[in-house]
């Protein structure tokens, strides 16, 4: 699947299919550890767009999995909801294969200054 950037202002390094593993939790773990920054998103979600824009504005090119564009996206969304302990499942961000969390956790990390060191440690930022 190729990402069409005409209608969005963010810069994912790639958008992928979610059908690589059988068990949904195993699939999430595998996908989350496949790139320095991984975002599980829904293409029409404004919060998802905001978090993708945040990373791209910082010079990070996240790998984005659009759950609404994959036939198994609902399975992944249920796993993400469980990992987050309930509540909204998107956007969900992994950095260096570790769960950072949903939008509130990402923004808190950005505001308190811990996001950039995480990105540097994962190799997603060079400066």
| β strands within the chain, DSSP E | 14-15, 37-41, 63-66, 92-95, 98-101
**Cα 112–Cα 52–Cα 4 angle in degrees, nearest 5:** 170
Average pLDDT over the chain, rounded to whole?
A: 86
What are the structural domain ranges in the chain? 14-120
Please tell me whether residue 99 adopts helix, strand or coil conformation.
Answer: strand
Tell me the Cα Rg of the chain: 13
Segment 39-68 mean pLDDT: 96
Q: Give the SS3 label for residue 93.
A: strand
Q: What is the pLDDT of residues 64-81, one digit of tens each?
A: 999 999 999 999 999 999
- In which band, very low, low, confident or very high, does the pLDDT at 88 lie, cut at 50, 70 and 90? confident
pLDDT classification of 117: cutoffs 50, 70, 90: very high
pLDDT at residue 114, as a whole number: 97
- HSE-CB for 89 with a 13 A CA cutoff: 19
Report pLDDT for 3: 35
Q: Assign domain 14-120 one CATH number from 3.40.50.1860, 3.40.30.10, 3.40.630.30, 1.10.10.10.
A: 3.40.30.10
């Amino acid at each position: 699947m190729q990402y069409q950037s005409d209608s969005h202002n963010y810069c994912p390094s790639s958008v992928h299919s979610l059908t690589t593993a059988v068990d949904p939790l195993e699939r999430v773990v595998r996908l989350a550890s496949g790139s320095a920054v991984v975002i599980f998103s829904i293409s029409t979600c404004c919060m998802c767009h905001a978090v993708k824009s945040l990373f791209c504005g910082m010079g990070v090119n996240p790998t984005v999995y659009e759950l609404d564009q994959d036939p198994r996206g609902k399975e992944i969304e249920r796993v993400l909801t469980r990992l987050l302990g309930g509540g909204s499942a998107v956007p969900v961000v992994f950095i260096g294969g570790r769960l950072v969390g949903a939008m509130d956790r990402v923004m808190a990390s950005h505001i308190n200054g811990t996001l950039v060191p995480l990105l540097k440690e994962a190799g997603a930022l060079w400066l």
